[in-house]
Amino acid sequence: MCTFLLLVFTRMIQRSARLRGLFLASVVTASGCSELRGRHEAREGNKLYRDGRYADALALYEQAQRRIPGLWLLWLNKGVTCRQLMIPGAHTPENERAVTCALEAFQKVRALHPADQRAEGLYVQTLFDADRFETLTAMYQAQLRVNPTDLSAVNGLIQVYTRWNRTEEALYWYQQRASLEPKNAEAQYAVGVFIWNQLFQKGGGAEMAGFDPRPDPNLPVPPVQRKRRKGKRAAAAAAPAPTKVPPAFGPGDITGEARERLADAGIARLQKALVLRPRYREALTFLNLLYRQKSFAYFSTPDKWQAAVDAAERWRREAETLARSP
């Protein structure tokens, strides 16, 4: 019908100069018809999306956007559809196209309708789902250049570096957040928990917790060795007790002084959390756990090992006492 009306108006213009003014009306009519078609295609795309036919829905959305490029809701639906075509962890050309499609669509929504916050959240979530860590880092760093105390940017960097498995940078931003919120007990506690998690994953498993480097008092004392010297019998000193062999650390494990230093950093943050919140039972629990992790650095020095284990036990008892108190 829209095409027929446009053809009629064009022929009328050709027949009479007096009707040239009607040409503008024909253009408006054509524009209106294009918008109607675009909206119809968008609605059909919505039906296909609900049926799970995401590729077909996307094709209709792309047709519609050429007719109604200023309809922000169409771009939002397109971005969500492109996300459905993404495969987490895949780096194929098809997946990269789906990621780019989603990101460009959400950016268009942000430009057309800034008041809708869904596009911002979906844009960031798409970057995370696609492992676009460099883009995320640059985005959050730009926010911090504008406002160095922007906690949302700091939290974003914590999430980025944690997901990126770059633990040193993640720890740095955990500590930055704790420094920005010196009176927030949970921010201090989070540093300690993160450090414990790193120590546990990198050489702090059950086999380490089950090892006791002290000499076993149940083992028999080695017999006194005797030897002859110049025709006289002389008693040698008793042989030392056999040395226990600790479990072996693996490649990438945190050992020795590095383990001790990292554990102490976490312990300091947890103790600060307790100053801010004396009845912080979770902080007490992780103090116990961190001292246990620290003890694994001392398998060759049983006295230091014992001191760390004793400290862990004291914090464990305090946590239990607090749990029983009203």
Tens of pLDDT, residue by residue, the chain (326 residues): 454 434 443 454 345 544 444 433 444 454 568 888 989 999 999 999 999 999 999 999 999 999 999 999 999 999 999 999 999 888 899 999 999 999 999 999 999 999 999 999 999 999 999 999 999 999 999 999 999 999 999 999 999 999 999 999 999 999 999 999 999 999 999 999 999 999 999 999 999 999 999 987 666 655 554 444 454 444 444 455 556 899 999 999 999 999 999 999 999 999 999 999 999 999 999 999 999 999 999 999 999 999 999 999 999 999 999 999 87
Pair 261, 202 in one domain: yes
In a domain, 32, yes or no: no
Pair 261, 311 in one domain: yes
**Length, in residues, of the chain:** 326
In a domain, 125, yes or no: no
pLDDT at 241: 54
Pair 199, 324 in one domain: yes
Pair 275, 150 in one domain: no
Q: Please, are residues 283 and 315 in contact by the beta-carbon 8 Å criterion?
A: no
Pair 203, 286 in one domain: yes
Pair 162, 193 in one domain: no
In a domain, 303, yes or no: yes
Sort 64 into a burial class: Cβ within 10 Å, 0-12 / 13-18 / 19+: buried
Pair 192, 163 in one domain: no
In a domain, 299, yes or no: yes
Structure tokens at 101: 């499609």
Pair 267, 283 in one domain: yes
Pair 268, 149 in one domain: no
Q: Please, are residues 210 and 309 in contact by the beta-carbon 8 Å criterion?
A: no
State which residues form the domain around 309: 188-209+254-326
In a domain, 150, yes or no: yes
In a domain, 293, yes or no: yes
In a domain, 197, yes or no: yes
In a domain, 164, yes or no: yes
Pair 160, 205 in one domain: no
Pair 165, 144 in one domain: yes
pLDDT at 236: 43
Q: How many domains does the chain have?
A: 2
**75/79 Cα distance (integer angstroms):** 6
pLDDT at 88: 84
Pair 196, 324 in one domain: yes
Nearest CA to 167 out of 58, 42, 253, 294 is that of: 253
DSSP state of 297: G
- CB-based contacts of 64, cutoff 8 Å, min separation 6: 37, 38, 39, 41, 42, 45, 71, 74
Nearest CA to 200 out of 192, 99, 306, 125 is that of: 192
Structure tokens at 118: 């869904």
Phi, psi of 196 (to 5 degrees): -60, -45
